[in-house]
Amino acid sequence: MAIILLERKTLSLAERTYVPQILSALKTTFKRMIKPAETLEYPEERPTIPPNYRGVPTLVKDPHGRDKCVSCQLCEFVCPPKAIRITPGEIPPDSPFGHVERAPQAFDIDMLRCIYCGLCQEVCPEEAIFLQNQYSMSGFTREEMVNHKDRLYDLGGTLPDRHYKWDKKKDAEEHGNAHG
């Protein structure tokens, strides 16, 4: 193995006194003294959120206040860190909403595991889960960082529904539109 010796460049008088480096540092310091502060006073001042921001995942209801989620569990299966846990619940057939068949009995999202990837929102066929603009979630215990169904609905609110899963369609209209 050959050993290569590199010769070091000799320093000039100015470089040996460190004067250029000191002047450069002072220049930066004086710029910062004149320039206005870039710091936000966080609780009072909030940064502007871009329109495509992916924040906290939440559940939403339809305009009539009914659950949009049908417990298909696609969001649970697609979640990379397995932060979503759904316990499906059955709707009795004799109920006015018996045609829907399922609604979530329990829906939990562990915010300590969530990576805010947005896959749950993309895969939801009923558009029941959305990523909201909220970015500051905090708690004192691990249990506080698990959002249960009620809290998810409180955070999500209501959104317009394009699926109308709760509205029972008339058989005559369905057959007329399908064959006509």
Q: How far is CA 9 from the centre of its chain?
A: 54
Buried b (16+ CB within 10 A) or exposed e, 133-169: eeeeeeeeeeeebbbebebbbebbeeeebeeebbeee
| Phi, psi for 48 (deg, rounded to 5) | -75, 140
Give the pLDDT confidence score for residue 168 in this predicted structure: 61
Where in the chain are the domains?
57-156
Give the pLDDT confidence score for residue 161 in this predicted structure: 67
Cβ-based neighbours of 102, under 8 Å, separated by 6 or more: 70, 71, 72, 88, 89, 90, 91
Give the pLDDT confidence score for residue 109 in this predicted structure: 95
pLDDT per position as a tens digit, 13-57? 888 888 889 999 999 999 888 887 778 888 788 888 888 888 899
Torsional sign, CA 24, 26, 31, 36: positive
Query: Considering the entire predicted model, what is its pTM?
Result: 0.66
| Phi, psi for 108 (deg, rounded to 5) | -125, 140
Provide the CATH number for the domain formed by 57-156 in this structure.
3.30.70.3270
Question: What does R_g of the chain's alpha carbons equal in angstroms?
Answer: 29
Q: What is the DSSP letter of 104?
A: E
Q: At which residue do the structure tokens 């193995």 appear?
A: 1
- Rounded to whole angstroms, the Cα distance separating 113 from 79 reads 10
Contact in structure between 97 and 28 (CB atoms under 8 Å): no
pLDDT per position as a tens digit, 62-86? 887 778 888 899 999 999 999 999 9
What one-letter code names the amino acid at 52?
Answer: N
pLDDT per position as a tens digit, 85-103? 999 988 777 777 666 668 8
180 pLDDT higher than 70: no
Give the pLDDT confidence score for residue 122 in this predicted structure: 94
Q: Characterize the bridge pairing of strands 146-147 and 84-90.
A: unpaired
167 pLDDT band, cuts 50/70/90, is low
61 pLDDT higher than 50: yes
